[in-house]
Amino acid sequence: MDSSTTTSTDSEVAYDIPPILKVYKNGRIERLEGVEVAPPGLDPETNVESKDIVISEKDGLSARLYIPKTTYAPQQKLPLLVYFHGGAFIIETPFSPNYHNLLNNIVSKANVIGVSVHYRRAPEHPVPVAHEDSWSALKWVASHVGENGVEEWLKNHADFEKVFFAGDSAGANIASYLGIRVGLEGLPGLKLEGVVLVHPYFWGTEPLECEVEQAEGAAKVHQLWRFTCPTTTGSDDPIINPGQDPNLGKLASGRVLVFVAEKDLLKGRGLYYKELLEKSDWSGVVDVVETKDEGHVFHMLDPNCENAKALLNQIVSFIKQD
């Protein structure tokens, strides 16, 4: 093969998901968004300290941990927030500047310990690898119950009786999945108190009433799901459609807060999730907050806007039970 043929193959796109990713015919994957990295350390604005830890070197599984700098009294215990970032299971990491800043702010305002999970992403690692990685991360977190484990911040300062899961978009999908899995399998010593789902990435084969007139966007969601999970049965796979999950009612948390955005194609799925939970044998309380005039994950795209600040404060209030 001459060099011109090689160059041609290198630049030929096999699959394009604008504006986030390109897959080239030679197998190379180019992420176009969510690739910036903010270093860990002490954030002077929030007085929150962070550090990166490896959970499994073999699986490339890691996390960024957060602690309020004021929390160095030997026995002071704080609620624990486990966060799962969004990005369609394809892009972003806990180290992206906007996620790093979001966690600094939540940890500071809610006065919690934070664990932001770096799961492996599609297409190199198709769904459900992200879900299995997140479950492994959760089991690692739970290994610190009873002041065991290797991570000082968790074993000395995390209150495992007050654990919260949160995530946005694909991360909200993972947070819901893990809430159900804790209900099914249990994690001894860990009590899940609340789950926060921001613009959750759920879908289904049958369009909801609000989706009927958005056929083009809906088709893209179907295609995106199949791209990230090639082995799926389709958009009624229980991972993407909670209406098809017979175990939804096993959700371990007694409180759930769902955020939806008025201009988000996925808005109907967040509302439907509330309806499904209330129809199941789950006995908790689920609330939905809708943000007017905003689109999908607007709070990550414009974190300094007033609606983003309001959303952040509502997450904090949910954790603190204000």
> Which residue has 């017979």 as its token pair?
246
- Count of domains in the chain? 1
The percentage of the chain sitting over the pLDDT mark of 70, rounded to a whole number, equals 96
3-class SS letters over 205-264: CCCCHHHCCCHHHHHHHHHHHHHHCCCCCCCCCCCCCHHHCCCHHHCCCCEEEEEEECCC
The verdict on residue 20 lying in a domain is no
Measured from the Cβ of residue 98, the count of other Cβ atoms closer than 10 Å reads: 18
CATH code of the domain in which 209 resides:
3.40.50.1820
The verdict on residue 25 lying in a domain is no
Residue range(s) defining the domain that contains residue 129: 40-320
The verdict on residue 27 lying in a domain is no
Please check the confidence at residue 301 and state whether its pLDDT lies above 80: yes
Q: Is 188 helix (H, G, I), strand (E, B) or coil?
A: coil
Structure confidence at residue 70 (pLDDT): 81
What's the pLDDT band for 10 if we cut at 50, 70, 90? Answer: confident
| 182-235: pLDDT as tens digits | 999 999 999 999 999 999 999 999 999 999 999 999 999 999 999 999 999 999
Measured from the Cβ of residue 124, the count of other Cβ atoms closer than 10 Å reads: 11
Please check the confidence at residue 267 and state whether its pLDDT lies above 50: yes
The verdict on residue 177 lying in a domain is yes
Strands (E) located in 204-245? none
Q: Give the C-alpha separation, 54 to 77, whole Å.
A: 23
Catalytic residue numbers read: 169
* CB 228 within 8 Å of CB 90: yes
Looking at every residue in the chain, the average pLDDT score rounds to 95
The verdict on residue 30 lying in a domain is no
The verdict on residue 15 lying in a domain is no
Please state which of the ranges 59-73, 153-167, 209-223, 286-300 shows the lowest mean pLDDT: 59-73
Mean pLDDT, range 90-106, rounded to an integer: 98
Structure confidence at residue 7 (pLDDT): 52
The verdict on residue 8 lying in a domain is no
More confident position, 250 or 72: 250
CA dihedral 132, 126, 214, 278 (to 10 degrees): -10
Please check the confidence at residue 3 and state whether its pLDDT lies above 50: no
The percentage of the chain sitting over the pLDDT mark of 90, rounded to a whole number, equals 93
C-alpha distance across the termini of the chain, in Å: 67
* CB 98 within 8 Å of CB 38: no
pTM summary value: 0.96
| 15-61: pLDDT as tens digits | 899 889 999 999 999 999 999 999 999 999 999 999 999 999 999 99
Classify residue 312 by burial, with Cβ atoms within 10 Å: 0-12, 13-18, 19+: middle
* CB 163 within 8 Å of CB 80: yes
Q: Give the C-alpha separation, 266 to 256, whole Å.
A: 18
Please check the confidence at residue 280 and state whether its pLDDT lies above 70: yes
* CB 84 within 8 Å of CB 75: no
Please check the confidence at residue 126 and state whether its pLDDT lies above 50: yes
Mean pLDDT, range 234-248, rounded to an integer: 98
Q: Give the C-alpha separation, 322 to 306, whole Å.
A: 20
**Spatial CA neighbour of 259 closest among 278, 273, 247:** 273
Structure confidence at residue 8 (pLDDT): 57
Please check the confidence at residue 73 and state whether its pLDDT lies above 70: no
The verdict on residue 23 lying in a domain is no
Mean pLDDT, range 130-135, rounded to an integer: 98
Structure confidence at residue 258 (pLDDT): 98
**Spatial CA neighbour of 109 closest among 302, 312, 305:** 312
For helices 170-185 and 129-142, give the axis angle rounded to 10 degrees.
Answer: 60
Structure confidence at residue 129 (pLDDT): 98
What's the pLDDT band for 75 if we cut at 50, 70, 90? Answer: confident
Q: Give the C-alpha separation, 227 to 121, whole Å.
A: 12
* CB 107 within 8 Å of CB 114: yes
